[in-house]
Structure 1
């Protein structure tokens, strides 16, 4: 990977990490597996990141931001209501169809919160809660700041997430 910038190196590690952590979770994924996916040595991983947790957090932040951006872009210029709900649902379905690891990474993040907090480490919890609120706010504003519509959108979305995660077809 010689000749690429530190930012490109970091991006390559984050994308590989999302794919690895999405399947193995925080505890089940080794830095050796991440390094192998990226095509680098383990020490190379720690140039842009101080430790495994920092890599996990960066991957979690990216996956949540990718989701938020999918909603934001879909709803841009669309007047609230049913049309906004539909374009955001379609954008999300497209995102998790093309990159299911985005969804699975977020679910691994949710699962990692309790384990981390049991060890008096709230960083992952803070990242998950902050990412979730950012996604919520984006959808909420796109749906005309209607709490019931926003809650309904996420309820249907979480059902779709669950069905996707367990390998069943979703419906809309």
Structure 2
């Protein structure tokens, strides 16, 4: 059996954390479940990450960075509407291929709100910074048209909500969307 390095284990923990937190949320997911998914002990998990919040933060940042990179690659060399269409299609493919990524995003928003309600501003700040990188990537792709970038992200959030709630592609709720924005089977 080949031993994994600490960095490889850390990556395994982040991938497992995305899946577990996506399904159970921050408060509903135990570190024990994450450790079990990875095949390590809880004490080892805490040698890789100092706390449950640090694990959640790493998983959330990975999620934001992944979406940002998808937008960046999809819009490369394109402008305005072509970039919007390419980013929309790429995001749609991303969440179809990895539904846990979508659910992790939704859990991230809830966790930030909950942490801030409990007085923890630092946690949200780190995730807002990562989200702003995604926002800036979209603004740049649409040619610094802030209104168009806002509309793109607003539609994206609505799609996130509808998909998270399980609305199937043929449901009438999707009739207000046109073209590649509407989810495929």
TM-score by length of 1: 0.94
Dislocated runs of 4+, deviation >4 Å = none
Taking the aligned partners of 1:72 and 1:132, their CA distance within structure 2 comes to: 14
Which segment is superposed worse, 8-17 or 160-169? 160-169
Which segment is superposed worse, 1-10 or 101-110? 1-10
Instruction: Report the alpha carbon displacement of residue 131 of structure 1 after superposing the two structures with TM.
Output: 1.6
**CA offsets, 1:5-42, max 9 Å, x none?**
22111100000000000011110000111111112221
Instruction: Report the alpha carbon displacement of residue 159 of structure 1 after superposing the two structures with TM.
Output: 1.2
- Other structure's SS at 1:77 match: coil
Q: Which residue of 1 aligns with 2:179?
A: none
Question: Do structure 1's residue 132 and structure 2's residue 131 form an aligned pair?
Answer: yes
1:135-150 maps to which residues of 2 (within 5 A)? Answer: 135-150=134-149
Instruction: Report the alpha carbon displacement of residue 124 of structure 1 after superposing the two structures with TM.
Output: 2.2
Q: Which residue of 1 aligns with 2:38?
A: 38
Instruction: Report the alpha carbon displacement of residue 2 of structure 1 after superposing the two structures with TM.
Output: 6.2
Instruction: Report the alpha carbon displacement of residue 148 of structure 1 after superposing the two structures with TM.
Output: 1.4
- Contact 1:109–1:124 at 8 Å: present in 2 too? no
Question: Structure 2, unaligned stretches of length 5 or more?
Answer: 170-181
Question: Structure 1, unaligned stretches of length 5 or more?
Answer: none
Q: Which residue of 2 aligns with 1:158?
A: 157
Question: Do structure 1's residue 65 and structure 2's residue 65 form an aligned pair?
Answer: yes
Q: Which residue of 1 aligns with 2:56?
A: 56
Q: Which residue of 1 aligns with 2:93?
A: 94
Cα RMSD for the two superposed structures: 1.4
1:1-16 maps to which residues of 2 (within 5 A)? Answer: 3-16=3-16
Taking the aligned partners of 1:91 and 1:19, their CA distance within structure 2 comes to: 21
Taking the aligned partners of 2:144 and 2:130, their CA distance within structure 1 comes to: 18
Q: Count the aligned residue pairs.
A: 171
- Other structure's SS at 2:120 match: coil
